[in-house]
Amino acid sequence: MAMKVVALAGNPNVGKTTIFNALTGMRQHVGNWPGVTVEKKEGVFEHRGQRFLVVDLPGTYSLTAHSIDELVARNFLLNGNPDVVVNVVDATSLLRNLYLTMEIFEMGLKNVVIALNKIDLAERKGIKIDVERMARVLGVPVVPLSAKEGKGLEVLKDRIWEVANGLIRENPIVPRYDPEVEREIEHISRVLEGTKLAAKYPLRWLAIKLLQRDAEVMKLVERYLGREGLEEVMTHINEVEERYGKAMDLVIAGQKYEFIDRLTHEFMSYGRPSGDAFTDQLDRLLIHPVYGFIAMALVFYGVFKFVFAFGLPLQEWLSDAFTLLGNWLAPHIANDVLRGLIVDGIIGGVGMVLSFFPLVFLLFLALSFLEDLGYMARVAVLMEGILRKFGLPGKAIIPLILGLGCNVPAVMSARTLDNEKDRLVTMFVNPFIPCSARLSVISFMAALFFGGKSALIAASIYVLAFAVALASAWLVSRFVPGETTPFVIELPEYLIPSGRSLLLHSWERSKEFVQKAGTVILLGAVIIWYLSNYPVPVGTGGSYAERIGHFFEPYMRLMGLDWRAAVSLLFGIIAKENVISTLGVIYGSPEAIRNAMAPLQGYVLTAVTTLYIPCIATIGAIKSEANWKWAAFTTAYMVAVASVVGILIWHLGVAMGLG
């Protein structure tokens, strides 16, 4: 039996990811959509003997091609031929959520199931929804859900199975506009009727998108009607806009919301809310211009305490395990070269990096918890005013937060910003945000040199990095022409995250760390071992690594560092974790590193590692999203800033007697 395809569509923050995880469990794959760098999530589940491939579409408020996310979602619904479209709708915000639903209906899709999520929250807010009547009014099945609690998921699977196998006859309601708009839709539909477009797309949908001046649809129509034909249609639309006195996309959006409002009155009513007072008070605290920042500082300090308190013992256990493995394996390898490569190069280098996986996983676990809880949206609101003062748009907070995981997708996510200036400035400062790879370096150095103060030291590095990012944004934004755009974000309901969903999400984010250790870092460790042992072993002054390091040593001395730090930083350009593996190969053990370097030197190296050249993948992402000049400028600027900061920290520390 052929596998059926289920498309999961919905607004951001409606619980789509929770439903996806609940349906697919561990049978998931994350990649990119063909031709673009937007994340593509797929998973499989079985029900009643039928296998289903679930495709989680990017969260979007509409299907007009203003951003790459909207375009990806729309193209899949139009051209991907899904057997079932599950439209996840937030029961606490029906008016806004049903806008996307109406756009799906206007595409002519008749295989839709509405997953009415957060029904329990709606009830607490006093919102009463007659689900059966809602299904009759909308013309499609409606399944009430509480995805977080796992309620309603089996019913959802039943409806998906029934729709996929043609057992439910759907009649989706289509928005109707005022007579003048409807006449224009009919006129454009007649113009397009004789073209090949009629066989590929719903004519009513094409007409509405032309009225809204959808750029992608205009290109599509021009291909079939020619330039003159498109201009004739657009001239007609201009005349209609003159009569309304405003753009047709605003007219259509307004009338669509009025239509939805009339619909909701048929199946929704309001009672007395319960339990909202506490969340309202919490919001007043968390987004307060003073108390909100105090709360944020405490929250993120708590995150670091959690990560280090539980992660360091696991890291030390893994580190000891790799050491024991190397000691056990060494006598069993007769060949000196092979023994050195495996024990010192691979186990010593890669093993030291892998030992930090618990810290990376726990950081993602904490960030996923805050995100699913609804707190990260409050951070975005809180930071918006500050970001704007430094020349960044409020929406830039999302790429900056993503940068805590990995700077590559964070740089790519800047494409969702609305103008070129916002995109360029956000891409420019994003590499300063410490990613999970740099977390491994920060946590390693902090634990190695500062013991019980490691969480505080790590937090200070993050504060330094964000301060440098903001200062850089302020400086660069002065030279990039353009205006920043308004900030709009929805505050989601506070939800206690599902433990299963948290673990799945954290694993998906952190498994790249393990994959990188088995590829890029493994290769780097082998190269570092070779350079450190040929033509003579490190320590004699004749190894390739020492020659490279000594070439840069005069520059490193300005920061109180030696040739070993220079070599580690050079290999850190490939992947930041290589800083640790290089130190592991050159010194041989963490204890040797601690004996060779003073705490101030360790702090300087940590700061420089955090601020200097981003990894090769990040540079490539900036080049791909902007151009080589912008990537080169970003790289040169970061080297200069890291050098200045490293020199200042070292000399201030020496002056204070910390050296």
Domain boundaries, the chain: 4-164, 179-268, 291-490+502-655
Would you tell me how many other CB atoms lie within 10 Å of the CB of residue 39?
17
- More confident: 247 or 111: 111
Pick the CATH number of 179-268 from 1.20.120.450, 3.40.50.1240, 1.20.140.10, 1.10.287.1770: 1.10.287.1770
Q: Please name the residue ranges forming H helices in 60-169.
A: 68-79, 94-106, 119-124, 131-138, 153-164
Instruction: Give the range among 420-424, 494-498, 570-574 with minimum mean pLDDT.
Output: 494-498
Position 487 scores a pLDDT of: 60
Position 556 scores a pLDDT of: 93
Position 37 scores a pLDDT of: 46
Residue 44 — very low, low, confident or very high, per pLDDT cuts 50/70/90? very high
Residue 482 — very low, low, confident or very high, per pLDDT cuts 50/70/90? low
Residue-averaged pLDDT of the chain = 84
Residue 480 — very low, low, confident or very high, per pLDDT cuts 50/70/90? confident
Percent of the chain with pLDDT over 90: 31
- Per-residue pLDDT, averaged over 548-553, amounts to 90
Residue 558 — very low, low, confident or very high, per pLDDT cuts 50/70/90? very high
- More confident: 290 or 67: 290
- C-alpha closest to that of 642 among 454, 423, 472: 472
Structure tokens given for 362: 């726990």
Percent of the chain with pLDDT over 70: 90
Per the listing, tokens 């995981």 go with: 405
Residues ≥6 apart with Cβ < 8 Å to 48: 161
Nearest-angstrom CA–CA distance, 149 and 168: 27
Instruction: Give the range among 132-141, 215-224, 509-518 with minimum mean pLDDT.
Output: 509-518
**Cis status of the peptide bond prior to 535, with omega within 30 of 0:** yes
- More confident: 111 or 516: 111
Q: Is the pLDDT of residue 542 over 80?
A: no
pLDDT digits (tens, 9 = 90+) for 484-540: 555 656 677 777 777 877 887 777 767 766 776 666 667 767 787 788 778 877 666
Instruction: Give the range among 53-57, 174-178, 343-347, 375-379 with minimum mean pLDDT.
Output: 343-347
- For 268: left if phi > 0, alpha if psi spans -120 to 50, otherwise beta; the answer is beta
Q: What is the CATH topology of the domain spanning 4-164?
A: Rossmann fold (3.40.50)
Instruction: Give the range among 28-37, 217-226, 490-499, 625-634 with minimum mean pLDDT.
Output: 28-37
pLDDT digits (tens, 9 = 90+) for 180-201: 999 989 988 888 887 888 888 8
Please provide residue 51's backbone torsions phi and psi, each rounded to the nearest 5 degrees: -95, 140
Position 131 scores a pLDDT of: 94
How many C-alpha atoms does 499 have within 13 Å on its Cβ side?
A: 0
Q: Is the pLDDT of residue 378 over 90?
A: no
Q: Are 91 and 117 in contact (CB under 8 A)?
A: yes
Position 275 scores a pLDDT of: 55
Where are the extended beta strands (E) located within 18-111? 28-32, 39-47, 50-56, 84-90
Considering Cα of 388, then 392, then 393, then 395, what sign does the dihedral take?
negative
- More confident: 117 or 329: 117
Instruction: Give the range among 133-137, 286-290, 571-575 with minimum mean pLDDT.
Output: 571-575
Position 29 scores a pLDDT of: 64
Nearest-angstrom CA–CA distance, 356 and 440: 6
Q: Whole-angstrom distance between the N-terminal and C-terminal Cα of the chain?
A: 71
Nearest-angstrom CA–CA distance, 238 and 246: 10
Same fold, 4-164 and 179-268: no
- Per-residue pLDDT, averaged over 447-467, amounts to 89
- Per-residue pLDDT, averaged over 299-323, amounts to 83
Residues ≥6 apart with Cβ < 8 Å to 25: 43, 45, 504
When mean pLDDT is compared over 39-53, 409-423, 643-657, the highest value belongs to 643-657
Burial (CB < 10 A; 0-12, 13-18, 19+), residue 316, is middle
Q: Is the pLDDT of residue 349 over 70?
A: no
Global pTM reads 0.61
Q: Is the pLDDT of residue 39 over 70?
A: no
- Per-residue pLDDT, averaged over 125-150, amounts to 91
Nearest-angstrom CA–CA distance, 35 and 539: 49
- For 379: left if phi > 0, alpha if psi spans -120 to 50, otherwise beta; the answer is alpha
Instruction: Give the range among 312-326, 346-360, 423-437 with minimum mean pLDDT.
Output: 346-360
- Per-residue pLDDT, averaged over 627-655, amounts to 93
Position 138 scores a pLDDT of: 96
Per the listing, tokens 């201030």 go with: 652
Q: Is the pLDDT of residue 616 over 50?
A: yes
Q: Is the pLDDT of residue 410 over 70?
A: yes
Q: Are 80 and 7 in contact (CB under 8 A)?
A: yes
